[in-house]
Amino acid sequence: MSSSMLDRILAPNGLRCYAQPIVHICGSRCTVTSVECLSRGPRGTPFESPGVLFDYARRKVAECDVDRVAVATALAGAQSLPGTLGISVNVHASTLGRDAMFVDFLVGVARQCKIELSRLTVEIVEHSPVWNATKFLHSLRLMRELKIRIALDDVGTGQSNYRMILDAAPDCFKIDSYLVQTAHADYKRRAMLASILQLARDLGGSVVAEGVESVADLEAVLYLGITLIQGYIFSRPLPVAALPPVIARINTLPVPTSPRPTLCLQKVSTGIHAFGEN
């Protein structure tokens, strides 16, 4: 009898770990500060795509099991990375709300892989509005006590809303690529980015712009003051073993000292400086 797709995913080597650099741009210097670990499903199946993989996991109500395997796979892969790099792993809010032992599991795996907890960031992803808030907040409290950072993924879309921002009090806001892409040509997107950046600053969090793919969008987010960048412009997600030379290359990349004024400045009604379209 053949095993189900869930069995294949949960089996040893069912998932593979890819990672994408998160780059800090300061002046003319690029520095890879951390990597986000991303899961890929069984090779040669449509479930290689993380979108399909986790959609399936959620439909099977198996987020907890899949998150555990994904985290274990990610940390096992990331242990070969330099000790100075932060490591981000994605975890469903529903996992933190349902699986009372998840934090203990995460700590155990990190210790087994000899990864310091202070290097870890748990990126909270959520697709369902229903979760046990009490258990969820308890899990967050435990992680904070252990110096594990909390990030909120996909800010600006889905369930990563104001309530989640209040409840999770994230150390890092990861802005969804939907708001970032084409920001150079869309003052409404730039207004939202500026608003989220201000909110994050007021709440003491950092901001990462996800899905930066073009120089124009990079310039736009840098102009707004977002200096942590993730996206194809630097590197697509790669197997962890392929990452060190890519990181070394990014760390030597030149960056314009100031965003090139390819677009003129204008004020929008909110008073936010923004690029114009002409």
Partner 1 sequence: MSQLGKKHKAIGARVWRLELRQFGHHRALYLPAMPRLLVIDDDADLRAAVTEYLLSLGYEVHQAAEREEAEALVANYSYSLVITDLSLTQLGAEGFDLLRTISNSNSRPKLIVVSGHAGSGHRELAKQCGADAFLPKPTPLATLGEAVRTCLSPQHTQKAP
Q: Quick one: how many helices (H) and strands (E) in the chain?
A: 11, 11
Q: How big is the site for partner 1, counted in residues (CB under 8 A)?
A: 13
Considering the complex, state which of residue 51 and residue 204 has its C-beta at the smaller distance from partner 1. 51
**Largest pairwise CA distance in the chain:** 65
- Rounded Cα distance, 40 and 218, in Å: 27
* Segment lying near partner 1 (by CB under 8 A), choices 52-60, 136-144, 163-171, 225-233: 52-60
Residue 206 Cα distances to 198, 273, 275, angstroms = 10, 21, 23
| Binder of partner 1 out of 12, 26, 59, 82 (CB under 8 A) | 59
Interaction with partner 1 in 171-190: which residues (CB under 8 A)? none
Burial of residue 42 (number of CB atoms within 10 Å: 0-12, 13-18, 19+): middle
Q: Under the criterion CB under 8 A, does residue 256 sit at the interface with partner 1?
A: no
| Binder of partner 1 out of 27, 28, 43, 46 (CB under 8 A) | 46
Question: Which tokens belong to 158?
Answer: 């889905």
* Segment lying near partner 1 (by CB under 8 A), choices 50-58, 94-102, 175-183, 204-212: 50-58
Q: Under the criterion CB under 8 A, does residue 157 sit at the interface with partner 1?
A: no
Buried b / exposed e across 245-264, counting CB within 10 Å, b at 16+?
Answer: ebbeeeeeeebeeebeeebe
* Segment lying near partner 1 (by CB under 8 A), choices 46-54, 80-88, 107-115, 240-248: 46-54
Considering the complex, state which of residue 51 and residue 271 has its C-beta at the smaller distance from partner 1. 51
Q: How wide is the angle at C-alpha 255 spanned by C-alphas 249 and 261, nearest 5°?
A: 150
Tokens 């770990």, residue? 17
* Segment lying near partner 1 (by CB under 8 A), choices 16-24, 43-51, 130-138, 250-258: 43-51
Cα torsion through 70, 71, 75, 78, rounded to 10: 60
Considering the complex, state which of residue 1 and residue 264 has its C-beta at the smaller distance from partner 1. 1
| Binder of partner 1 out of 11, 52, 242, 253 (CB under 8 A) | 52
Considering the complex, state which of residue 49 and residue 262 has its C-beta at the smaller distance from partner 1. 49
| Binder of partner 1 out of 51, 204, 254, 271 (CB under 8 A) | 51
Q: Under the criterion CB under 8 A, does residue 60 sit at the interface with partner 1?
A: yes
**CB 182 to partner 1: min, Å:** 20
Tell me the helix, strand and coil percentages in the chain, rounded to 5.
45, 25, 35
Contact footprint for partner 1 (CB under 8 A): 1-2, 4-5, 46-47, 49, 51-52, 55-56, 59-60
